[in-house]
Amino acid sequence: MAIVPANADEARQWLRKFHEVSDSLDPARLPEVYAEDSILQYANVPPVQGLNNLKGFFGPIFEKLELMHHVVSYFDLVGDKIYQACTITYRAKNDPEKEEIVVPAFGVFHILPSGDDAGKMKKAEVYIDPSPLMAALARAESDGP
């Protein structure tokens, strides 16, 4: 069972696990941190609901990445929510420039406090401008093999 954070140390541990799963670039690991009916609101993309849809959303992006790494700047735990600012470093596969794109982001993670999916995320709201990453992905696709 996942951690249901009740204090800052547990919230830090929860974030560490969440980002470890994300940074693995393996959509098969999403059930470790996302509840079955999770909702993701990412930037201006329409909300994505359910594990299968989340795998479908992340899978094609993860396949194009060589690296994704989150570094938490600060966070706060309020009830069943973690508010977190971070930077995300990306590197696109086949990018001729091998550029490391660092993008600031802010997320609100709603965590289930009980039930079969206790400690997993039921909703994530991610505020980010992914356009630098999208530019690198487009460059890699146009110059790639």
pLDDT at 142 over 90: no
Q: What is the SS3 assignment for 4-69? A: CCCCHHHHHHHHHHHHHHHHCCCHHHHHHCEEEEEEEEECCCCCEECHHHHHHHHHHHHHCEEEEE
In whole angstroms, give the CA distance from residue 22 to residue 1.
18
pLDDT category of residue 11 using cuts at 50, 70 and 90 = very high
pLDDT confidence of residue 143: 58
pLDDT in tens, 29-77: 999 999 999 999 999 999 999 999 999 999 999 999 999 999 999 999 9
* Structural domain spans, the chain: 8-143
pLDDT in tens, 91-135: 999 988 889 999 999 999 999 999 999 999 999 999 999 999 999
- From 1-5, 18-22, 64-68, the region with the lowest mean pLDDT: 1-5
β-pair partners for 87: 71, 104
pLDDT confidence of residue 1: 47
* AA letter at 38: S
* CA 62 to each of CA 7, 28, 79, 86: distance values in angstroms, whole numbers, following the listed order: 32, 11, 31, 19
Q: What is the pTM of this model?
A: 0.92
Stretch (H or E) spanning 131? helix 131-143
Query: Tokens for 85?
Result: 């600012």
- Asked if residue 122 lies in contact with residue 37, where contact means CB atoms within 8 angstroms, the answer is yes
Whether the CA torsion 42, 47, 49, 55 is positive or negative: it is: negative
- Tell me the CATH architecture of domain 8-143: Roll (3.10)
Q: Is residue 113 helix, strand or coil?
A: coil
